[in-house]
Amino acid sequence: MSHYEAPIREPLVLGDKSYHDITEDIAKPIEGAANKNWYIAFYISLVAMLWGFGCIFYTVGTGIGVWGLNKNIGWAWDITNFVWWVGIGHAGTLISAVLLLFRQKWRMAINRSAEAMTIFAVFQAGLFPIIHMGRPWNAYWVLPIPNQFGSLWVNFNSPLLWDVFAISTYLSVSLVFWWTGLLPDFAMIRDRAVKPFQKKIYSLLSFGWSGRAKDWQRFEEVSLVLAGLATPLVLSVHTIVSMDFATSINPGWHSTIFPPYFVAGAIFSGFAMVQTLLGIMRKVTNLEDYITRMHIEYMNIVIILTGGIVAVAYATEFFIAWYTGSPYENYTYLSVGAATGPYAWAFWSLITFNIITPQLLWFKKIRRSFIWTFIISIAINIGMWFERFDIIAIVLSKGHLPSTWWRFEPTFVDVGIFIGTIGFFFVLFLLYARTFPVIAQAEVKTILKSSGEFYKKRSEQGIPTKPAINLAGSEGTSDKNNKE
């Protein structure tokens, strides 16, 4: 089997790297000490997190009335943040699972961090379904457990219950998928460790990985099977989240396009968050040779594609809302009422940040620019928050009966909890970046000789770096030549 790669493809690993260089580069942030900037960032995040926890305790202790919700708008920032965080998490699984199925080698430098982002984002998302309950101490009642109430069970018809299954399955499968991939990398850190404590820790984390041929063969099979399972999972999780709205009869919520459109939006916002994080990480951890300009460009292309799908969905929503002939659709989400009503600012933020700004990425100069990418990715993160807010709050603020029309004003507790989850997310991510191998070294090493800059140049110049491919007779079937 050959490893021929078309010369037209850009290299994925820059510079004259050997296998050892990869190990060194990736192990460095773990083995070294944190610098001042890391501590500053960590403390800011920690303070935000603690503040958020304070707001959560205040809510649970005092009652949900400390939020800005009212009797017509029973969901606002809580579920907005929930959907936003779940959506962010989806890019991680997309990068590790879907791009694996599509054999995209460029995913290898970014999948580890994207999956970490998934897991930490799902943690944040998972908080909201519990803390937005009026009686969170009864949250375990959502589980179908035999009990002393004559085995009183849950009703399986509610999408909120499907959420419980979707999110918990998603978190567990993502964790297993991520951890499996980490085994060879933890083993690498373990084998390099000089301090006994560090050695002990990474020995525990790496589950005794010794890298035998049989282990690798099974490792690959498992990765592929998990990718095959995670792909429908990632689609179904955000689908189920979308069904919280789409199964209802509210105009603006009841729309059959929600399942795929939410998924596309999730990938869109998730990739934006990956861009935000990796844009910084590649610099501070000196991994610019692995997370290259080309990786950034490819992610931007995914953003244009999913952003385009989302834009088509908006247009469809607009069109069908009018096409239904239903007067109720006219003052709800993405229709005339939304664009001119009291939430017009939220609506136009959505259009500006989600639809207009990403169009800049059509220009090659912009999508290959780190600074532009960073700015646009922040814009998309904001825009996608507004998308969820608009879907939820605008629809609820104007229901079927005019006597129920009301507005939503967030309180400092709503805002505080959201800030708290951002803080919590970064606390986890910063700790991760100092203790975990942030790039899957084992995977990157598999593409070094086919896609590394040094090796690509050598093979273009005809200097053999590996057993030569027999190019003679390539007119015929490829397999005869490939059999080794």
Pair of tokens at residue 342: 């009291």
260 binds another protein (CB under 8 A): yes
User: In terms of CB distance, is 31 or 221 closer to another protein?
Assistant: 221
Position among 130, 176, 204, 312 found at the interface with another protein (CB under 8 A) = 312
Stretch 316-335 residues interacting with another protein (CB under 8 A): 316-317, 319-320, 323-326
Which residues does residue 13 pair with via DSSP β-bridges, in sequence order?
Answer: 452
Distance from the Cα of residue 275 to its chain's centroid: 10
Q: Is 452 helix (H, G, I), strand (E, B) or coil?
A: strand
Biggest distance spanned by C-alpha atoms of the chain: 81
2 binds another protein (CB under 8 A): yes
Number of neighbouring beta carbons within 10 Å of residue 44: 14
256 binds another protein (CB under 8 A): yes
CA-atom Rg of the chain in angstroms: 25
**Please, what's the b/e burial string for 270-288 (b: 16 or more CB within 10 A of its CB; e: otherwise)?**
bbbbbbbbbbebbeebebe
232 binds another protein (CB under 8 A): yes
- 380, 269 Cβ separation under 8 angstroms: yes
Nearest to 429 by CA among 28, 13, 149, 38: 38
Position among 105, 254, 368, 457 found at the interface with another protein (CB under 8 A) = 254
- 189, 27 Cβ separation under 8 angstroms: yes
Calpha distance 86→422 (Å, rounded): 13
The site that binds another protein (CB under 8 A) totals a number of residues, namely 49
Calpha distance 83→269 (Å, rounded): 11
Position among 60, 64, 309, 378 found at the interface with another protein (CB under 8 A) = 309
Judged by CB under 8 A, the stretch of 49-57, 310-318, 398-406, 431-439 that binds another protein is 310-318
257 binds another protein (CB under 8 A): yes
CB of 335 to another protein, least distance (A): 12
216 binds another protein (CB under 8 A): no
111 binds another protein (CB under 8 A): no
356 binds another protein (CB under 8 A): no
User: In terms of CB distance, is 36 or 365 closer to another protein?
Assistant: 365
Nearest to 380 by CA among 352, 338, 402: 352
Calculate ∠ Cα 448-449-451, nearest 5°: 65
Position among 45, 255, 332, 377 found at the interface with another protein (CB under 8 A) = 255
Judged by CB under 8 A, the stretch of 108-116, 164-172, 283-291, 308-316 that binds another protein is 308-316
Position among 12, 117, 246, 287 found at the interface with another protein (CB under 8 A) = 246
Calpha distance 390→331 (Å, rounded): 12
Binding site for another protein (CB under 8 A): 1-2, 4-9, 101, 220, 232, 235-236, 239, 243, 246-249, 254-260, 308-309, 312-313, 315-317, 319-320, 323-326, 469, 474-482
